[in-house]
Amino acid sequence: MARSPGAGTSAQDTTAIDFSRLLMRLQSILVTPDAARETKLRTSSYEREKVDHNLEYARSLLTRLERDASKLKNQTRRQETQADLVGKREVLQMLHGRLQELNELGAHQLEEDESSEEEDLLGEYTPDGEEEPETEGDPSPTDPAPPVMTSAIKSTHMAANSEPIPTLKPEPTSTLRARNRQAESEKAELFSGASTGLSTATAEALMTHNRTEQESLTNSLLNMAQALKSSSHSFASALEEEKSILNRAAEGLDKNEQGLEAAQRRMGFLRTYTEGRGWWGRMLMYVWIAGLMVAALVITFVLPKLRF
């Protein structure tokens, strides 16, 4: 069963409207999101997968629109539609690049969180190991006083055991702080660079799209002005031609009116001529008519019977 052209046009318009709405929503999500949306995109891989699926669906709609645009018979409309779709494809590629940046940022942040958790566990485990020598070195109050030599050896041994502890204790904390500061600085630089690059690319894409639309509108306005001018000239020439025809028709009507007036005058003259003699003239006219009728009957019926 063949599909009617009206149904195909309505389906194409519906696809174009759906694609435009989806593209505007993706731009609001990826290009100009609010703080909560941006945080959710950076931290949640599920949200990024949803946006990725929407991008794939938008790409399929764009492919369908390009295929329908190539089948248009009007060359001017086909070129305008294809140029518009090329601009929208560039915007879609820019949004895909933005999503890739968010995926990289999310992976980098996940690695930093994992390393921070490992360092925190290491920092929590170190003081427990440092407290053991102190408990081992505390003498019990009930123990007898050791000899001088034994206490000296024990104090030497405790000093040897406790010597590296003060030097090792601040090292994990300082290393952790340095790493956290370095990670925060790298994250800030990465986010600022990504946002600056994204805003610049978005502004350039929007300016290019607006410039293309402005040029197309200017061309369409010029074409409309030229068409209006040509139609006004043709209408003026048609009026001139019809004006001459109307003049000839008016002249013909004037001549007919003059002929009717002359006929009316003649009829009036005949009426006055026949009625001018009054009753006697009318009776003479009737006598003449009766005589003519009798003569016609004689010629028709009597004369053929005569023999000479």
Tell me: pLDDT of 11 over 60: yes
How much is the pTM?
Answer: 0.37
- Candidate ranges 7-16, 234-243, 293-302; pick with highest mean pLDDT: 293-302
Task: Indicate the DSSP class of residue 72.
Answer: -
| pLDDT > 50? residue 171 | no
Q: Which residue has the higher pLDDT, 124 or 130?
A: 124
Section 147-163 average pLDDT: 42
- With a pLDDT cut of 90, the percent of the chain lying above it is 8
Q: Return the higher-pLDDT residue of 297 and 36.
A: 297
Which stretches of 93-239 are assigned E, i.e. beta strand? none
**The amino acid at 288:** W
- Tell me the HSE value of 38 on the side-chain side, using a 13 A CA sphere: 13
Domain residue ranges of the chain, discontinuous segments joined by +: 9-130+170-227, 279-308
With tokens 């994990």, the residue in question is: 172
Q: How confident is the model at residue 80 (pLDDT cuts 50, 70, 90)?
A: confident
User: Is 292 a residue whose pLDDT tops 90?
Assistant: yes
C-alpha atoms less than 13 angstroms from C-alpha of 67 in its C-beta half-sphere: 8
Pair of tokens at residue 2: 């063949």
State residue 234 phi and psi, 5-degree precision: -65, -35
Residue 36 in tokens: 């909560």
Average pLDDT, the chain: 74
CB 92 within 8 A of CB 59: yes
**242: pLDDT strictly greater than 70:** yes
Question: What does the block give as tokens for 210?
Answer: 């607006």
pLDDT at residue 278 above 90? no
Q: Is the dihedral of CA 30, 36, 42, 45 positive or negative?
A: negative
User: Among all chains, which residue has been given the structure tokens 């010629």?
Assistant: 299
What pLDDT is stored for residue 144 in this prediction?
42
Bigger pLDDT: 253 vs 9: 253
Instruction: Please state, in angstroms and rounded to a whole number, the distance separating the CA atoms of residues 68 and 71.
Output: 5
**Euclidean distance between the first and the last CA atom of the chain, given in angstroms as a whole number:** 100
Count CA atoms within 13 Å of residue 126 on its CB side: 17
- Is 38:191 a contact under the CB 8 Å cutoff? no
Q: How confident is the model over 28-48, as pLDDT tens digits?
A: 888 888 888 888 888 888 888
Could you give the percent of the chain with pLDDT greater than 70?
65
How far, in Å, CA of 166 to CA of 169, rounded? 5
